[in-house]
Amino acid sequence: PLCEAVKGHAEAQQNNFPSRTTAEVAEEFVASRAASGVSQAYVNSCRQNLKRFTKRLPGQISEITVADINGFLTSLTTLAPVSKNCLRRTIVTMFSFAKKQGYIDPDRKTAAELSETFKVPEKEIEIFTPEEMEKLLLAAHARILPLMAIGAFTGIRNAEICKLRWEDIKWDRGHIEISGRIAKNRARRLVPLSENLKAWLAPWRDEQGPVVPIQDSSGALGDVAVKAGIPGGWRQNGLRHSFISYRVAETGDVARTALEAGNSPKMIFRHYRAVVDEGSAKAWFAITPPEGWVPKELPWPIRERIRRAIEAHRRKAG
């Protein structure tokens, strides 16, 4: 409303805030995020989101009102509620930065904080059955199989797995270390390494370097689902949803599962847990490769190492 805009302008003049446009603050904010050590993906996301915002609202940041921000977000009709809320969080964080810099009133909630959020429709999660998971693993190419096996039997997020190195898998200690540099919430955690997961990852036991050698795994996962004949194709977050559901059924301990998955118990109940029985949970964590199995298109150096190890074992046994 005009009266609110006039009031905001008058208060800005009275408090003598430095002259900063939204574009100038956005540039400073993005630079501060890059310097803070956050992931490049997050920096790029902030840059893209704020570019859209500053193009629509190019004025002084001290004069931006709640109505301005609400109008901007509502006008984005092509974005889903989740995307609008994500964009709003970026704006809120930038306005908090502006407050710390003294560009807006430090004693009041920012216009971004007071803006409205969007209701996200509840969506029922989808999981894989033990039979489907076995088909997927046996159909998977060697480049993508470690990601699938780790996701299915530890619940580690795909984005976290893509940052893992083979050195992070502590075979003898029986866990995978998710360091602060990898974890979504920057909190280090140790995830149990189950016996069936060890069996699926056995060909790579002596490897070093990145666990996942490809940058974008989404297309590869979809291809595997088609080859395996999974009805409906790949299921979004299916590996993590499946692990959490089966792990809760296996242990009966939501808090423990939440700790392993890097989530809160509340989030487990709200978003991830599907109702499965104890028998299905036991079947899930009993999925192991058949005798003599070798991943498809396993790199030659690994195949050769396995061959030599088998020959050495035979000589020792004979």
> In this predicted structure, what is the pLDDT of residue 274?
66
pLDDT at 51 over 60: yes
Find which of 41-45, 50-54, 309-313 is predicted with most confidence, using mean pLDDT: 50-54
For residue 91, what pLDDT is reported?
A: 96
The mean pLDDT value of the chain amounts to: 88
Mean pLDDT of 166-189: 90
Residue 307: is its pLDDT beyond 90? no
Digit-coded pLDDT (tens) for 158-172: 989 999 999 999 999
- pLDDT bucket at 182, cuts 50 / 70 / 90: confident
Confidence of residue 13 (pLDDT cuts 50, 70, 90): low
Look at residue 14 and tell me whether its pLDDT is greater than 60.
Answer: no
Q: Quick check: 180 pLDDT over 90? A: no
* Mean pLDDT value across residues 163-186: 90
Model confidence, pTM: 0.67
pLDDT exceeds 70 at position 207: yes
pLDDT, tens only, 231-280: 999 998 899 999 999 999 999 899 999 999 988 888 887 766 667 889 99
Whether 188 shows a pLDDT value over 80: the answer reads yes
Q: Where in the chain is the domain with CATH 1.10.150.130?
A: 2-114
In the chain, ranges of CATH 1.10.443.10 domains: 130-317
Has residue 195 got a pLDDT over 80? yes
For 114-146, what is each residue's pLDDT tens digit? 999 998 776 778 899 999 999 999 999 998 999
What pLDDT sits at residue 7? 65
pLDDT of residue 275: 75
Query: Top-level CATH class of 130-317?
Result: mainly alpha
What integer pLDDT is reported at residue 305 of this predicted model? 76
What pLDDT shows up at residue 236? 87
pLDDT of residue 39: 77
- DSSP annotation string for the chain: -HHHHHHHHHHHHHHT----BHHHHHHHHHHHHHHTT--HHHHHHHHHHHHHHHHH--SBGGG--HHHHHHHHHT-TTS-HHHHHHHHHHHHHHHHHHHHHTSS-TTS--HHHHSPP-PPPP-------HHHHHHHHHH-BTTTHHHHHHHHHH---HHHHTT-BGGGEETTTTEEEE-TTTSTTS--EEEE--HHHHHHHGGGTT--SBS---S--HHHHHHHHHHHT-TTS--TTHHHHHHHHHHHHHH--HHHHHHHHTS-HHHIIIII-----HHHHHHHTT--PPTT---BT--HHHHHHHHHHHHHHHHHH-
Fold of 2-114: DNA polymerase; domain 1 (1.10.150)
